[in-house]
């Protein structure tokens, strides 16, 4: 069975890799799909995010990296023959945001969502925090 682990991965963190590694043990293939929103500007360009994810997952034989722009995740899943969406949860509060999306994915396409709690050592790391910290450490030009 194939699963997709979607996200902006801007940038990818060890928390993302923890979830990908654990999902890789449950599925025949896990596609880490970098989703891009044309209305938002990411910190890392798409090719950079794809290359970073490919490098970070190079030891996981059944994890591949892909991207999707401007379409619903369920449409991507249907086109790719994927039946499960993997979502990492760092805090219980994130479930409130993820739950309605999981319900809608199931309603629209019968695609199930698997929630994977992040390992405690990785739970405090977020892409936003990493980006903010990295940006604030840069010296002005």
Is residue 105 annotated as part of the catalytic site, yes or no?
no
87 is in an annotated binding site: yes
5 labelled ligand-binding: no
Q: Among the options 49, 68, 105, 127, which is catalytic?
A: 127
- Is 16 marked within a binding site? yes
127 is catalytic: yes
Is residue 38 within 8 Å of 87, Cβ to Cβ? no
Catalytic residue, chosen from 21, 22, 90, 106, is: 90
Distance, in Å, from the CA atom of 61 to the CA atom of 28, rounded to the nearest integer, reads 10
Residue 78 known to be catalytic: no
For residue 93, say whether it is annotated as part of any ligand binding site. no
CA 53 → CA 33, 49, 50, 126, 137, distances in Å? Answer: 10, 6, 5, 15, 23
Is residue 97 flagged as an active site residue?
Answer: no
Q: Is 88 annotated for ligand binding?
A: yes
Q: Distance (Å, rounded) from C-alpha 56 to C-alpha 5?
A: 14
Q: Residue 9: phi, psi to the nearest 5?
A: 45, 50
Binding-site annotation: residue ranges: 8-9, 16, 40, 73, 87-90, 98, 122-128
What are the residue numbers of the active site?
A: 16, 40, 90, 127
- Pick out the residues of the known binding site for ATP: 8-9, 16, 88-90, 98, 122-128
């Amino acid at each position: 069975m194939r699963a997709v682990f979607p996200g902006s991965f801007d940038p990818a963190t060890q928390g993302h890799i923890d979830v990908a590694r654990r999902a890789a043990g449950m599925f025949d293939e896990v596609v880490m799909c970098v989703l891009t929103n044309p209305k938002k500007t990411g910190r890392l360009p798409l090719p950079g995010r794809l290359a970073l994810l490919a490098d970070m997952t190079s030891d996981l034989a059944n994890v591949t990296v892909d991207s999707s722009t401007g379409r619903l995740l369920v449409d991507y899943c249907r086109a790719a023959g994927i039946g499960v969406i993997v979502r990492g949860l760092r805090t219980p509060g994130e479930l409130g945001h993820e739950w309605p999306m999981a319900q809608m994915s199931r309603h629209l396409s019968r695609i199930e969502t698997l929630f994977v709690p992040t390992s405690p050592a990785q739970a405090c790391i977020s892409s936003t925090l990493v980006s903010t910290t990295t940006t604030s450490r840069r010296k002005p030009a």
